[in-house]
Amino acid sequence: MRTATGAPRRVLSAGVAVAAVGAGAFAFAAGARAEVQPVTFQLRDLVIQPGESERPLAPGGGVYGIADGTWVFAVSAKPLTDAGAALELPAGLSVKVGAGSGSSACAAVAGSVGVYSCDSTPPNVYSSPLIGASDAAKDGTVAYYGAVFVPRGGSVADAVAGVKTSGSRPADGPASVQAARITVETPDHVARNTLRLTTPDLPAGGTVTQQVQVHAVDPGKLQLFFESAAGQPSWPSFPTSVGVKVADATAAPAGSCRHVTSELNSPTTIIWCDLPAGDSTVSYTLAAQPELVSWKVDVRAEYQVLTWGAGNPEAHGTFAFLGTTPVPTASPTATPTDPGTTPDPTATPTPTVPEPPDPTTAAATVTVTATPAPAGSPSATTAAPAALRPGGGDDGTLASTGADDLTPTLGGGLALVSGGLLTLVALHRRRGTHRRRRAHH
């Protein structure tokens, strides 16, 4: 699965990694492992509703590096820009540590009101305080939070002092110190963000431009999903083609969009756009192959304002693929194996006998792992990292500008595999021996 995006990317395939393994490469790998990579991370602005409780403050934009040490968090009613300012929470908000998912490794820092420390031991690197809003929390209530990571053996006391001014640091990309905000919004406030869809039909072999008109009271992320409409047979499972792709997606007068370049039946969001507050128009073009199955399609647009839970504004539209082949005959919940074929219910199934494997053919499995590099380094990945909890909109979709959907994107260092190489060498020898024996006979 590919995504179209304007950010440059650095990719390294497993084949290149294995090919690079040699006598000199092993020495390089040993030296690279000896270096300690700084831990960087991204915080994100959070939007919660009154009555929402125990939401984690852990980095929602990703953690880069081996986070073995201590997280230090601060939460305040005022921006974290003054080391001497008292840290107090606004009315209606509360912080919880020492209990609940993700906060059991956290405790309040003695002598520093509003500051909390959390033990971080891989793979459990997302320990954090929990934020909550009471039913009485007022719409528009804002709090500020920041975080600093301290490697094992580092000075927690220095981090306690540094986190109180974390709001003075720029928040452009991953960093070792970051700050963000928490906003309370009532359901009535969220509902003031509205969407309107325009979805004309798509002809076989042609293109069509559809639009979403967004009236945004708050900045947020627009996401678009496509699926077969109610009463229609389900689309075939990915990667079976339905013959339609997104050709482009843009936002005007401001905002940025990305889109998946695989078929519309990819099991993910197809288009997502980051939009500022104000009125925006998101336009996207669908392109169809000449041979197209007729289908009625539901498109769902969701404008994600809230970080968690239901209540984000949505809009739905239905349009048609004006295909050259009728829609398959099947129950609404069935998944046809071929969108251009109508199953014959009277036909007798023919058993499938698997072909015997070719003794000269074998496959080697190579596992490639890497630790992402910090932002700004020559090998750093530039696309936004995947979110690790639902609701934030960073949905974990792989982004690539290359031609191979299966090429892994590695954030730092050269992944070198010694065991895989030895396995491939042994396999080559066995295959060569087998061919010589067959020639002898």
Q: For 170-196, write each residue's pLDDT tens digit.
A: 767 789 999 999 999 999 999 999 999
Stronger pLDDT, 140 or 235, i.e. the higher one: 140
User: What does the pLDDT read at residue 326?
Assistant: 86
The stretch 388-412 carries a mean pLDDT of 33
pLDDT in tens, 101-154: 678 899 999 999 999 999 999 998 999 999 999 999 999 999 999 999 999 999
Query: What is the percent of the chain with per-residue pLDDT over 70, rounded to a whole number?
Result: 65
Query: For residues 205 and 344, what is the distance between their CA atoms, to the nearest angstrom?
Result: 28
Q: What are the structure tokens assigned to 260, written together? A: 């998946």
User: What does the pLDDT read at residue 36?
Assistant: 62
Query: For residues 381 and 395, what is the distance between their CA atoms, to the nearest angstrom?
Result: 17
For residue 380, give every residue at least 6 positions away whose Cβ sits within 8 Å of its Cβ, in sequence order, or none.
10, 372, 373, 374, 411, 412
User: What does the pLDDT read at residue 387?
Assistant: 34
Query: For residues 388 and 69, what is the distance between their CA atoms, to the nearest angstrom?
Result: 20
Residue 401: Cβ-neighbour burial (10 angstroms; 0-12, 13-18, 19+): middle
Q: Is 16 helix (H, G, I), strand (E, B) or coil?
A: helix
User: What does the pLDDT read at residue 308?
Assistant: 92
Burial 109-142 (b: 16+ CB within 10 A, else e): beebebbbbbebeeeebbbbbbbbbeeebeeebe
- At residue 268 the predicted structure's pLDDT band, cuts being 50, 70 and 90, is confident
Place of tokens 């071929």: 338
Tell me the residue type at 235. W
User: What does the pLDDT read at residue 241?
Assistant: 81
The stretch 163-168 carries a mean pLDDT of 94
Is residue 17 within 8 Å of 415, Cβ to Cβ? Answer: yes
43-45-50-56 Cα dihedral, nearest 10 degrees: -10
Q: What are the structure tokens assigned to 296, written together? A: 């009625």
Is residue 201 within 8 Å of 319, Cβ to Cβ? Answer: yes
User: What does the pLDDT read at residue 121?
Assistant: 92
User: What does the pLDDT read at residue 35?
Assistant: 55
Residue 71: Cβ-neighbour burial (10 angstroms; 0-12, 13-18, 19+): buried
Q: Is the pLDDT of residue 396 over 70?
A: no
Stronger pLDDT, 326 or 348, i.e. the higher one: 326
For residue 303, give every residue at least 6 positions away whose Cβ sits within 8 Å of its Cβ, in sequence order, or none.
193, 195, 214, 216, 220, 221, 222, 275, 312, 313, 314
The stretch 363-367 carries a mean pLDDT of 34
Q: Is 362 helix (H, G, I), strand (E, B) or coil?
A: coil
Q: Is the pLDDT of residue 417 over 50?
A: no
Pairing of strands 256-260, 271-275: antiparallel
pTM over 0.75? The answer is no
Stronger pLDDT, 327 or 294, i.e. the higher one: 294
Q: Is the pLDDT of residue 97 over 60?
A: yes
Burial 23-57 (b: 16+ CB within 10 A, else e): eebeeebeeeeeeebebbbbbbbbbbbbebeebbb
Q: Is 85 helix (H, G, I), strand (E, B) or coil?
A: coil
DSSP string, 304-346: E-SSSSS---EEEEEEEEE-SBPPP---TT---S-TT----TT
Place of tokens 């990667």: 239
Enumerate the β-bridge partners of residue 275: 220
Q: How far is CA 337 from CA 232, 237, 334, 342, 355, in A?
A: 15, 8, 9, 10, 21
Stronger pLDDT, 324 or 379, i.e. the higher one: 324
User: What does the pLDDT read at residue 99?
Assistant: 75
Query: For residues 60 and 148, what is the distance between their CA atoms, to the nearest angstrom?
Result: 14
User: What does the pLDDT read at residue 309?
Assistant: 87
Place of tokens 């339609």: 244
Is residue 105 within 8 Å of 156, Cβ to Cβ? Answer: no
The stretch 352-356 carries a mean pLDDT of 39
Q: Is the pLDDT of residue 298 over 90?
A: yes
Q: What average pLDDT does the chain have?
A: 74
Q: What are the structure tokens assigned to 250, written together? A: 């843009």
Query: For residues 216 and 314, what is the distance between their CA atoms, to the nearest angstrom?
Result: 12
Q: What are the structure tokens assigned to 421, written together? A: 């190489």
Is residue 338 within 8 Å of 316, Cβ to Cβ? Answer: no
Q: Is the pLDDT of residue 343 over 70?
A: no
The stretch 356-379 carries a mean pLDDT of 37
Is residue 320 within 8 Å of 294, Cβ to Cβ? Answer: yes
